[in-house]
Each structure stands twice: as structure tokens, then as C-alpha cells.
Amino acid sequence: MNAPRETEGIAAAVEPDLSTADVRPEPPLAIVRGAPFLTLPQDLYIPPDALEVFLETFEGPLDLLLYLIRRQNLDILDIPIAEITEQYMEYVELMRELRLELAAEYLLMAAMLAEIKSRMLLPRPQEAEEEGADPRADLVRRLQEYERFKQAAADLDALPRLERDHFIVEAAVPPGFIRRLPPDVELHELLSALREVLARAELFTSHRVEKEQLSLRERMSQVLERLNGGGFARLTDLFDPSEGRPGVVVTFLALLELIKSSVLELVQSESFAPIHVKLREFSPATTA
Amino acid sequence: MTDQPLKAIVEGALIAAGGPLTLDQLLALFGEDERPERAAILDCIRELSADYEGRGIEIAEVAGGYRVQVRASVAPWVARLWDEKAPRYSRALLETLALIAYRQPITRGEIEDIRGVAVSTNIIKTLTEREWVRVVGHRDVPGRPALYATTRRFLDYFGLRSLNELPPLSEIRDPESYFLSTNVVPTSEPTENTP
């Protein structure tokens, strides 16, 4: 029983000794994943040196408890609580360097077992003797549930699966047969493409505006030149739509400027009639 | 249309697809005027399946349809084609996956209640990235925890046609099996494995 045994993990290392229910067997030794000798847990106490290994080996306190029950024949009601508690408190220091969260779950389990035991020890009133009053009920329910899914996980792992038991067969198709269809064009995609082009065109038009082309002073001179022959000119004739919006605006500004400086005047014979422009007769700028 | 070309077409499609094909997908390969009956395609699949008897490949029906796969019996050799070993999954991951598969839709908290330990974010991430599980909703309780369920890809991967084909959950064990004795009197002597 003391001989070190190479095992897959911890699980298979110990034969339960059924004949000594009260006197526990000598702690057996084992080699766990090449790590130094470890004392296997016979109850919830885990030697501090082995703690890290155990946290990796067991999937939590329920798993450890199941192992203890099934493999070690531990009677979960037969745990020396005071000792366990003391030992577990020692862990708390150790835990700071380890996975505190997981360790906490083990501590919780120890606390739960302590509570169960203390309840079992206390004399129970007659009315609490019913089925539901057993303090072990909740723990047993959890163990039952966990054990089912532990088994389910093993069953799932045993299912033949891709990449391990099956591989998808895939044959190459001779070249030239695979036709990639161009995707359908949605109307909104077309519109957004157009919007992009327009946005870029906008950039170009603004670059085309040169200072000389649209000089306000120059335009004022041009307007005066046209009116120099005397008489009226239709306001709209003074504009050259082919210049585009900026040209029209500059002409308009030139007109406003000339009117403001009393060089030109606007004439309209009646409402909604065409507006005419003429030189002011008394303007000093006039060269008659 | 004679049987022979149809069978060849079905075989070619199943092998070229690189994944399962449904009957509808197979039917869609044919033009309106030449489209065979569903039963005819099913017959072809059955014949092919019989043809593959004793060969290195077989036709399997999974959730995503029919696929041609390498037989498990020759997998150990075929697997050596690749340098990488097939991924092995931790018990923590498999237990989490089992809980999602059998108890879906399920929240992370409910998984943790049953397993007795926190579910690591990495496990959920791996399961999600493999597209075996996905969030199907949120439970309407404070915190609105995500509800996880398995996907068709999960079924395909494990060669299942539906969740009904999962191995049945084991019987709930007899409560007494968790106790050596019902004797309430404890022993007070210390254990000998105390350091």
C-alpha cells in the first residue's frame, strides 16, 4: 500500500481499506505527473505542498468530494472538523499566492461539511425528524446533480467527433468550373457611389475658382464697360450663366457695389416688369 | 435521367462540399427541368453508403445534412497526415459544454451552481469561437445574464443529427450511495495524514 505508483492522475492511486472504518489506513504515496511524493487526500485536508496540483486535478470541491466518497470511501459525516478547519485556515495564507477564488470554493465546502456535521450532532426535535429536515439533503442533491454531468461530459468526450475520429472528405473540383457570381448591386449602393463621385467633383470645382477670374473690381469694370454706350441694359443680361454660380454671385456683388457707390441705378417700370440697369447721369465716373 | 449519372453527381457534390449538405442543397444543384425527386436522391445516398461498405470513408447523417467522412476505424492513421494532434478538451470545458447541451438555455450562474466552481471566461470564449455555443437570449432577472445554447455546428462536430441523440443522462444515484453509513456518531480521533 505504501509503494509509490505511477498513475494517470490522482484518482486511481488508492485502494479503499474497507476493514478499517475507524482506523484510517496509512497515507499512501503516489507520483503525480512526475511531481514529488504527495499524500493523497483521505479527507478534505490537502497538504499545502500538493494544493496546487490538486486545484488543477479536480474540477472543484464537488469533484474532490466525489472522489473522496467513491475512491477513498470517506464518510463525509466522519470528518474531524476542528482539525480540518485549523488546517484550512493555514491555507488562507497560502492562497494569497494561488488561485484565491478557487481556493475559496474549497473552503466553502469545508464550512458546509462542518455545518452539516454540527447539525447532525445536535439532538433534533421530534417534528424535524421528517425527510426534508436532513441537513445532508442539499449537499447530496448537489453531488447527484454534479455526478450526472460529470458523466455526461465523459460521454460527450467519448462521442466520435471531427478532427479526432472522423475527417471530412474533400475532393478538389477541376479548375474552370467554379464560377464566382458577381454580387447583386443594390440601389442604395449605387447612390452612395454617386454621392462619393459628386463629393469628389465638388472638391475639383472649388479648386477651379481662381482669384483673378472672379475679381469683384474687374467685374465692376466689365459691367460699367457694357453700360458705357448709355441707355438701359436688362439686369438679367448682365449675368453670364455659363460662368456658373460663383460668376453669377460676383456679378451680382459688383452690381450691388456699383449701386451702393451711386454709379448705377435700377429701373423698373412696374411690378414684376423686367429690371433694367443704367448709369446715373450725374455720376462723376461717367465719361460722356 | 438514368440512375448512374445522378448517383455520380450526388457523390461528387457530397465530396466536394467539404461539409454536410442537406437534401434541399442537393436538389438545388439541378435545373428546374432536370430536378430529380427527393426520394431519388435519398436512394443515391443509400446506394453510395452501401458502396462505401468496407472502404475508408462513409456517409454520415448529421444535423447539417449528409457528409462523406473518413471512418473512425482508420482515423488513427489518417490523423498522422497533420502535424498537430486533435485538440483535447479539458474536463472543465467538457462539463460546461455538457451542461449547455443538456440544460439549454442555461446561464453561466446556473452552470456554476451545478459544477460548484466559477466558469472561466476562456472556456466560454473557446466554446463561442468554435461556434459550438451561442447566446440565444438573456434571462429577465437582475443583471440580465446571457442564456447559452448549442449550435448546429456542435451537433455536426459530434456527429449528431439532433440533441435527442445525445447520450442519455445517467440515472440519479441513490442518496445513500454518498454515505458509508448513516451512523451519526462521529469519530473524534485525528486523521493520520496530518503533517
Give the pLDDT score at B49. 94
**Whether B91 contacts chain A with CB within 8 A:** yes
Give the pLDDT score at B52. 94
Give the pLDDT score at B106. 93
Of the two residues A285 and B129, the one the predictor is more confident about is: B129
Give the integer Cα–Cα distance in Å for A245 and A208: 12
What 3-state DSSP class applies to A98? coil
Give the pLDDT score at A129. 56
Give the pLDDT score at A257. 86
Q: Residue B103 to residues A59, B135, B151: CA-CA distances in angstroms?
A: 19, 14, 13
Helices B121-129 and B91-103: crossing angle in degrees, nearest 10, is: 70
Contact A28, A1 (CB under 8 A): yes
Q: What is the pTM of this model?
A: 0.60
Q: Rounded mean pLDDT of A92-111?
A: 68
The stretches of A122-243 forming alpha helices (DSSP H) are 137-158, 187-208, 216-227
**Whether B83 contacts chain A with CB within 8 A:** no
ipTM score over 0.90, yes or no = no
Give the pLDDT score at A72. 64
> Which chain A residue shows the shortest CA-CA distance from B18?
A170
Looking at beta carbons, which pairs linking A173-181 to residues 24 or more positions away fall under 8 Å?
Answer: A173/B16
Best of A45, A46, A73, A165 to mutate (most B CBs within 10 Å, chain B): A165
Give the integer Cα–Cα distance in Å for A131 and A138: 12
**C-alpha R_g of chain A:** 49
In this structure, what C-alpha cell is assigned to residue B18?
A: 467539404
Q: Is the pLDDT of residue A10 over 90?
A: no
Q: Rounded mean pLDDT of A227-237?
A: 81
Question: Which candidate from B78, B97, B193 shows the least CB-CB separation from A167?
Answer: B78
Give the number of A-B residue pairs with CB atoms closer than 8 Å. Answer: 194
Give the pLDDT score at A261. 82
Give the pLDDT score at A250. 85
Q: How far is A191 from chain B (nearest CA, A)?
A: 33
From A239, A240, A237, A245, select the one nearest A208 (Cα to Cα): A245
Residues of B in contact with A63 (CB under 8 A): 116
Q: Rounded mean pLDDT of A217-226?
A: 82
Relative to beta strand A275-279, strand A233-234 is: antiparallel
Q: What is the pLDDT along chain B (195 residues), one digit of tens a residue?
A: 444 589 999 999 999 998 999 999 999 999 888 889 999 999 999 999 999 999 999 999 999 999 999 999 998 899 888 887 778 899 899 999 999 999 989 999 999 999 988 888 999 999 999 999 999 999 888 889 999 999 999 999 999 999 889 999 888 887 777 765 444 444 444 444 444
Q: Is the pLDDT of residue A205 over 90?
A: no
- Residue for grid cell 440515472: B171
Give the integer Cα–Cα distance in Å for A258 and B166: 93
> Which chain B residue shows the shortest CA-CA distance from A142?
B114
Query: What are the residues whose beta carbons fall under 8 Å from the beta carbon of A257, sequence distance 6 or more?
Result: A216, A220
Poorest-confidence range of A124-133, A217-226, A246-255? A124-133
> What domains can be seen in chain B, in order of their start residue?
3-79 (1.10.10.10), 91-170 (1.10.10.10)
Query: What are the residues whose beta carbons fall under 8 Å from the beta carbon of A219, sequence distance 6 or more?
Result: A250, A251, A253, A254
Q: Residue A287 to residues A225, A232, A266, B16, B49: CA-CA distances in angstroms?
A: 11, 16, 19, 93, 108
Helices B91-103 and B108-115: crossing angle in degrees, nearest 10, is: 120
Query: What are the residues whose beta carbons fall under 8 Å from the beta carbon of A170, sequence distance 6 or more?
Result: B15, B16, B17, B18
Give the pLDDT score at B130. 93
Q: Do B160 and A159 touch (CB under 8 A)?
A: yes
Q: Is the pLDDT of residue A181 over 90?
A: no
Contact B76, A69 (CB under 8 A): no
Give the pLDDT score at A173. 77
Give the pLDDT score at A233. 84
The Cα angle at residue A98 between residues A97 and A99, in degrees rounded to 5: 135
The H or E element spanning position B58 is: strand B57-62
Give the integer Cα–Cα distance in Å for B11 and B55: 15
Of the two residues B78 and A176, the one the predictor is more confident about is: B78
Poorest-confidence range of A13-17, A268-272, B185-189? A13-17
DSSP A44: S
Best of B48, B71, B77, B95 to mutate (most A CBs within 10 Å, chain A): B95
Give the pLDDT score at A210. 55
Of the two residues A11 and A197, the one the predictor is more confident about is: A197
**Max intra-chain CA distance, chain A:** 139
**What is the CATH number assigned to the segment(s) A208-279?**
1.10.10.580
Residues of B in contact with A139 (CB under 8 A): 178
Give the pLDDT score at A23. 39
Residues of A in contact with B75 (CB under 8 A): 164-167
Task: Pinpoint the residues of chain A covered by CATH 1.10.10.580.
Answer: 208-279
Q: How far is B193 from chain A (nearest CA, A)?
A: 6
Give the pLDDT score at A278. 83
Q: Rounded mean pLDDT of A142-147?
A: 88
Q: Is the pLDDT of residue A284 over 60?
A: no
**Whether B60 contacts chain A with CB within 8 A:** yes
Contact B118, A62 (CB under 8 A): no
> Which chain B residue shows the shortest CA-CA distance from A122?
B184
Q: Is the pLDDT of residue A285 over 70?
A: no
Give the pLDDT score at A245. 83
Give the pLDDT score at B188. 42
Question: Which candidate from B67, B114, B181 shows the least CB-CB separation from A145?
Answer: B114
Give the highest mean pLDDT range of A43-47, A284-288, B183-187.
A43-47
